[in-house]
Amino acid sequence: MEPLSVAVIAGGRSSEREVSLNSGASVVEGLRQSGHSATLIEIAVDGTWSGDGEPVTLSPGVGIEGFDVAFPVVHGPFGEDGTLQGLLESVRIPYVGSGVAASAMGLDKILAKQRLAQEGIPQVDFVGFTDTEWTEHSDQIVESAQRLGSPVWVKPARLGSSVGISRVDDPASDQIREAITAALVHDPRVIIEASCSGREIEISALEKVGPEGRTELVLSPPGEITLPGATEGEWYDYDRKYKSGGMELVVPAEISAQQAEAVCMVAGRAFRALGCEGYSRVDCFVNGDDVLINEVNTSPGFTSTSVFSRLFAAAGVEYPELLNDLLRSALERDIRSARFTF
């Protein structure tokens, strides 16, 4: 493809900032390897933007200092949640990945689960509430959490990398209130989920632009997340995700052809139900014949050795090719959106 000048936007204000900076550095390198010119634009914790140490300005209608396209790899709040996408959209900069609504829904575990439920996509039962509802109706909320069985999972609704999540083994004990208080440190919206004892299977989804701008959703082989040396009750927490040797990805996952097909089906339905664009990593629980969706990550960790990339690499699709496909779909969306009268 034609060489482009790409603004890779990384960092941001959330606790996933370091993870994002790693994704950003890797994307810059991959883009340069495929002949593009790429600059890392870092969003600092105070919200300022800089590229190569210089302040960056956004010019409505012109873009970011003449870059052709933006490649946001900011994870978590203020990046993956539609806010950054809205900013890029409003100043008309073509960008990689899902738009405003899909990003907002994808990051909000309550909104995403409500939308997936509308489509009848299988998932665990859940209860979602706000800090105000917690203050006013804490007894009812604890009661509904207890109806989910045990253990339950208490999470900030809009975060990632397992930050702020607690597994509560006995929802009838004080543990539940402690876990909710811990989640409320991160987000005024909290979700409590029933537990799924299935295996953790992840699959990458990528849109490819074909003839006449038609897009086709391509899925990687599913992979399984395993935790070497894990003791009973251990789960895929922050350290397991990012400490070297904390997790192992088995790809392709050692599941039956029927289970793999069901994972692909669920992933495709979830991607479309949320209105995702470009790419997403879809995480599922597989328990015998049941495939339950856990979550759709619209801005997954995206270094060349992240799960998203490794799943595609297993099918012979290399990192630079993924980057090129994403740039193509960003440009294609920009062309498409120019056809509408707003």
Ligand X SMILES: Nc1ncnc2c1ncn2[C@@H]1O[C@H](COP(=O)(O)OP(=O)(O)O)[C@@H](O)[C@H]1O
Active site residue 329: no
Contact 277, 255 (CB under 8 A): no
Please list, in sequence order, all residues whose beta carbon lies within 8 angstroms of the beta carbon of residue 313, skipping any fewer than 6 positions away: 319
Return the DSSP state at 95: B
| Identity of the residue numbered 141 | I
Active site residue 318: no
- Cα first-last separation, the chain: 30
Nearer to ligand X, 14 or 85 (CB): 14
Please list, in sequence order, all residues whose beta carbon lies within 8 angstroms of the beta carbon of residue 35, skipping any fewer than 6 positions away: 3
Q: For residues 221 and 215, what is the distance between their CA atoms, to the nearest angstrom?
A: 19
Q: Torsion angle, CA of 83/88/92/98, rounded to 10 degrees?
A: -80
Active site residue 242: yes
Decide if residue 16 touches ligand X (CB under 6 A).
no
Exactly one of 294, 298, 306, 309 binds ligand X (CB under 6 A); that residue is: 294
* Total residues interacting with ligand X, rule: CB under 6 A: 17
Decide if residue 106 touches ligand X (CB under 6 A).
no
Helix, strand, coil percentages (3-state) for the chain, rounded to 5, are 35, 25, 40
Continuous H helices in 119-198: 131-146, 175-184
CB of residue 38 vs ligand X: minimum separation in angstroms?
A: 27
Decide if residue 202 touches ligand X (CB under 6 A).
no
Exactly one of 9, 141, 165, 205 binds ligand X (CB under 6 A); that residue is: 165
CB of residue 332 vs ligand X: minimum separation in angstroms?
A: 29
Active site residue 170: no
Exactly one of 25, 117, 196, 249 binds ligand X (CB under 6 A); that residue is: 196
Decide if residue 200 touches ligand X (CB under 6 A).
yes
Active site residue 42: no
Decide if residue 193 touches ligand X (CB under 6 A).
yes
Contact residues toward ligand X (CB under 6 A) are: 124, 153, 155, 159-162, 165, 193, 195-196, 200, 235-236, 283, 294-295
Residues tagged active-site: 16, 161, 242, 281, 283, 295, 297, 301
